[in-house]
Amino acid sequence: MAILELSAQDVRKMFLYVSQRMVESKDLLTQADKAIGDGDHGVGMARGFGAVAEKLEGQSFNTVGELLKTIGTTLLMSVGGAAGAVFGTFFSGGAKNLGDAPSLDSRVLSHMLLDGLEAVKQRGGAKVGDKTMVDALQSAAMKSEDMSSAPLSESLSAVAGAAEQGMEKTKEMTASIGKAKTLGERSLGHADPGAISTYLILKFMTEFVTERDAPR
């Protein structure tokens, strides 16, 4: 039976899993950033999600918003640089309008992605086509609106797929914002590291829920 929602405590377990997998993705993200940046994205994200894992371990949360805000603050303080600002803003912004939601379902996921997207846009000024995480995040957020009535396992899978498509499109773009802007056309053919991280976070969330959804 498809998973409809996760309790706040299960969402905590999900982000412990996501954190572990993001730390394991350090080398992949480092190589991606070396192609169009200074190569520190993988180290920063691994450091940030390592700190998230430490923060979430042994804690309990009554609401999804409280949990997301904790993740956002931790990333902001530990990743460093622009990535820390935008990924911290994504999670904190995503928590903004969740109120006392005690669980994560497809509707709450959509609010998280749409509000997180808006917060990131306001923070960094990026828009679709600028070759940033926004290209992956906006694709995911738009898909989440279509899937807001579906079981969580189905909506997450669709949302992660949309994020992957948005990330792949960044290979065809020249960067017009951030460090890669100076490369001009040399950034063509390479995916934006922030877009890759956005896709991976949603992919790992999907993996956790899909594993729970698997027949025993």
- Which of 112, 114, 55, 46 shows the shortest CA–CA distance to 83? 46
Q: Tell me how far apart the terminal alpha carbons of the chain are, to the nearest angstrom.
A: 11
Q: Which of 121, 123, 117, 172 minimizes the C-alpha distance to 139? A: 117
pLDDT of the residue at 58: 84
* Residue 7 token pair: 């309790």
Look up the pTM and report it.
0.94
Distance, CA of 59 to CA of 50 (rounded, Å): 15
Helix H, strand E, coil C: the string for 172-212 is HCCCCCCHHHHHHHHHCCCCCHHHHHHHHHHHHHHHHHHHH
Burial class (CB in 10 A: 0-12, 13-18, 19+), 170: buried
Domain spanning 5-213: which CATH class is it, in words?
mainly alpha
pLDDT by position in tens, the chain (length 216): 578 899 999 999 999 999 999 999 999 999 999 988 788 999 999 999 999 999 999 899 999 999 999 999 999 999 988 899 999 999 999 999 999 999 999 999 999 999 999 999 999 889 999 999 999 999 999 999 999 999 999 999 999 999 999 999 999 987 766 655 555 566 678 899 999 999 999 999 999 999 876 665
Residue with tokens 């905590």: 12
Residues facing residue 6 across a β-bridge: 104
Contact yes or no for 142/165 (Cβ under 8 A):
no
Residue 196 · residue 168 · CB < 8 Å = no
Separation between Cα atoms, residue 80 and residue 92, nearest integer Å? 16
Structure tokens at 69: 């805000």
Q: Report the largest interatomic distance among the alpha carbons of the chain, rounded to a whole angstrom.
A: 52
Q: Provide the pLDDT for residue 1.
A: 55
What are the boundaries of each domain within the chain? 5-213
- Closest CA relative to residue 170, chosen from 125, 123, 117, 134: 134
